[in-house]
């Protein structure tokens, strides 16, 4: 039987998603490169304000909910798509509205990806899906790299369909698509979503708790979803 550390990663991963969203909106990557090269704002594209924009969250689990909570302070309209719709009380708590998958793609100004990787979500966003998105959309991925077809993403960046992409995960990490490395509007991190002292400790404590439960009570505290049916906690 297999366990994982679901809730321990929510806050730190959501923080990275927010950092990527804001960095993409304000063109922070190019700004930093400009000032280090002595160019000030020469040649920089203007950023965009998040206020008043529509944020579409793909995957409204623990991380998605925390992203919604964090971004609610920016006066955005928050929509989401999830394999299971949240109950009304939870939607109201996070000020989030459920929409179908294609509606989210068509109407979001910023898309944040937080879905698990499985056979249904591999290449969830590819060439067809990018054609449905708004021109100038911002795309952020803190889920798993293989959820997005990177060839299609680079094509969308080069055409301007995607104005900026913020990625903490990659299809073949640690290898990164050369088109993403070269593009000035791609904000890329080396999978640091949970790379904080506090989050690592929380993950370790959950893992140790599962180990203790397995050895002393023949159970798991946080089994993966496929194995939850075997446990009654």
Whether 83 sits among the annotated catalytic residues: the reply is no
Whether 173 sits among the annotated catalytic residues: the reply is yes
Catalytic residue among 81, 129, 144, 183: 144
For 152, left (φ over 0), alpha (ψ -120 to 50), or beta?
alpha
CA distance 11 to 92: 20
Catalytic residue among 26, 70, 91, 173: 173
**DSSP string over the chain:** --B--TGGGHHHHHHHHHHHHHHHHTTHHHHHHHHHTT-TTTTPPP----TTPEEEEE--SHHHHHHHHHHGGGT-EEEEE-SSPPPHHHHHHTTEEE--HHHHHHH-SEEEE-PPPSTTTTT-BSHHHHHHSPTTEEEEE-S-GGGB-HHHHHHHHHHTSEEEEEES--TBTTB--HHHHH-TTEEE-SS-TT-SHHHHHHHHHHHHHHHHHHHHHS--SSB-GGGGGG---
Residues acting as catalytic residues: 144, 173, 191
């Amino acid at each position: 039987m297999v366990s994982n550390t679901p809730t321990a990663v929510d806050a730190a991963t959501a923080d990275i998603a927010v950092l990527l969203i804001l960095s993409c909106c304000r063109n922070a990557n190019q700004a930093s490169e400009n000032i280090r090269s002595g160019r000030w704002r020469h040649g920089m594209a203007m950023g965009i304000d998040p206020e008043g924009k529509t944020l579409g969250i793909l995957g409204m689990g623990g991380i998605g909910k925390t992203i919604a909570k964090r971004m609610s302070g920016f006066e955005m309209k928050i929509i989401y798509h999830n394999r299971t719709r949240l109950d009304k009380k939870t939607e109201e708590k996070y000020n989030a509205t459920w929409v179908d998958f294609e509606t989210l793609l068509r109407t979001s100004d910023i898309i944040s990806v937080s879905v698990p990787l499985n056979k249904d979500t591999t290449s969830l966003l590819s060439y067809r899906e990018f054609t449905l998105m708004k021109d100038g959309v911002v795309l952020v991925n803190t889920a798993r790299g293989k959820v997005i077809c990177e060839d299609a993403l680079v094509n969308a960046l080069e055409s301007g369909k995607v104005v900026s992409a913020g990625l903490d995960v990659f299809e073949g990490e640690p290898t990164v698509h050369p088109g993403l490395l070269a593009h000035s509007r791609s904000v890329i991190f080396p999978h640091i979503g949970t790379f904080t002292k506090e989050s690592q400790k929380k993950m370790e404590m959950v893992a140790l708790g599962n180990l203790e439960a397995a050895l002393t009570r023949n159970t798991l505290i946080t089994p993966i979803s496929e194995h939850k049916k075997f446990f009654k906690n």
